[in-house]
Amino acid sequence: MERYGLLALAVLAACAVHGAGGQSPPGHRTRYEPNWASLDQRPLPRWYDEAKVGIFLHYGVYSVPSFGSEWFWTNWINLRNPDYIRFMERNYKPDFTYQQFADQFTAELFNATQWALLFRDSGARYVVLTSKHHDGYTLWPSKQSFGWNAVDVGPKRDIIKELAAAVRSVTDLRFGLYYSLFEWFNRLWIDDKLHLLLQQHFVDYKVRPEQMELVQQYLPDIIWSDGDWEAPAKYWKSEEFIAWLYNDSPVRETVVTNDRWGFGTACLHGDFYNCADRFNPGVLQAHKWENAFTLDRTSWGQRFDVSLSDFMSSKDVIREIVSTVSCNGNVLINVGPTKYGTILPIFEERLRDMGRWLKVNGAGIYGSTPWIYQNDTQTPHVWYTRGKESDDVSTVIYAFVLEYPYDTNELDIYPLGKDINVFRNVLLTGLDLGMDSDVLTKATTQITMLGMEDTKIAWTANHNKLHILFPPKHHIDKRGLDYAWTFKITIAEV
């Protein structure tokens, strides 16, 4: 009945290895070989697992037409999508090219400090910016992209440099970079494909120099790779690059990578797995993973052909955070800035709502680990995490209630499962929660509601069922508590 699954034992054991960020002995640094068998042994840096929440930014020339999605160029030219053709015929001269959009990519209102402060206020702990998308346009003065970068054409500014500096100077957020391996119309890439990928000119003269330049110049804590699926990792020389990242790069102690390094690597290799866009399996995963999703459900880049129903609500965002973190994941929440360098008010509203919620409920999110059960299927809209306050003598469980019980103002939950299994509970929590059925007693258990800590919570226990009475709803509303309501359950060993 309870959704813990066969992976539960493996996950919580794995958390000690791949989620907790194990450290090498003092004075010893492990060197990794350029092969997956070796690279996959690297412990995940602790900061990433503790951070839980990140912001994703898709920004580039595609922000100028603001139509369809960030795949505008290939949808128009390669796929000959009739909607894109019609858009161009109605709004631009017949000989207009995609490259001409770059002149209109002005970013004249871009203020990196304002962005950074918004991300801080959102409750995020890291930010990832697209350094280069599939159109090949770079947001820094790449030496391999002369005339097709943000310093040479468009805003005439190093967007990466400005945002990295602002994030590091006015916030405590980590800074990361997205990088697309392939480019739709790059001649070197096209030529390599014509030679059946038996040559690697595109990798040797474009990809690898840019990857090295980004790491050495901007010191990102995240390398978020994409655009890999048309060639194997061997073609991209991904294992060699990651080995350099882990062994010799200036960010070797802190950097984390995702799993998009060549077709067949997704959900198999990398510090954390994305598996697919908007990946949220809803069940516990043994390996650290990340749910990358976009507030505009259809597009990652900013667009104007959009209606209100296309945007996630603030409640939708909170649901994604809770269900993802409960299952050992992080969330990477995408917004697409405008060509002017501004973030639309609807995106700002979602981020600020998220920040207000995390300010109250973040104790159950940041630094948490998966609990024995992720989702109480007896009451399906309740999810659990184990708090970082847990120690050798007590366990802290956070129960997130995603649907308010308006009819009764009370709720039954099963944080220890419907049937107590002493062996399993001792193994997974490290605590002897008792040999009898009366584990949840007034002597051993304390329950508070986050944001209402000064209000006593009335509750009773029957076997391992908790019956919780919410405070009066108007008292909750006065505190501004919304979207999801969190109970902190502390169980002491007796």
Instruction: Detail the DSSP E strand segments found in 329-469.
Output: 329-335, 382-386, 394-401, 410-413, 445-449, 458-462, 465-469
Q: How far is CA 240 from the centre of its chain?
A: 25
> For the ranges 154-163, 311-320, 437-446, which has the lowest average pLDDT?
437-446
Given a contact cutoff of 8 angstroms between Cβ atoms, the answer to whether 284 and 11 are in contact is yes
Domains of the chain: 36-364 (3.20.20.80), 369-492 (no CATH)
pLDDT above 90 covers what percent of the chain?
82
pLDDT tier, 494 (very low <50, low <70, confident <90, very high otherwise)? low
Looking at residue 14, what is its pLDDT? 41
pLDDT digits (tens, 9 = 90+) for 369-417: 999 889 988 899 999 999 998 887 889 999 999 999 999 999 999 998 8
Token pair listed for 209? 């120099």
Place of tokens 């030496």: 143
Closest by Cα among 2, 114, 63, 118 to 379: 2
Closest by Cα among 1, 301, 342, 346 to 178: 301
Kindly report the average pLDDT of the chain as a whole number. Answer: 92
Closest by Cα among 194, 175, 178, 174 to 186: 194
Looking at residue 15, what is its pLDDT? 47
Alpha helices in 123-172 (DSSP H): 159-170
pLDDT at 226 over 90: yes
Looking at residue 396, what is its pLDDT? 95
Token pair listed for 487? 């109970």
Question: Is beta strand 174-180 parallel, antiparallel or unpaired with respect to 126-132?
Answer: parallel
The pTM score is 0.92
pLDDT tier, 176 (very low <50, low <70, confident <90, very high otherwise)? very high
The amino acid occupying position 263 is: F
The amino acid occupying position 110 is: F
User: Averaged over 101-127, what is the pLDDT?
Assistant: 99
User: Averaged over 205-221, what is the pLDDT?
Assistant: 99
pLDDT tier, 23 (very low <50, low <70, confident <90, very high otherwise)? very low
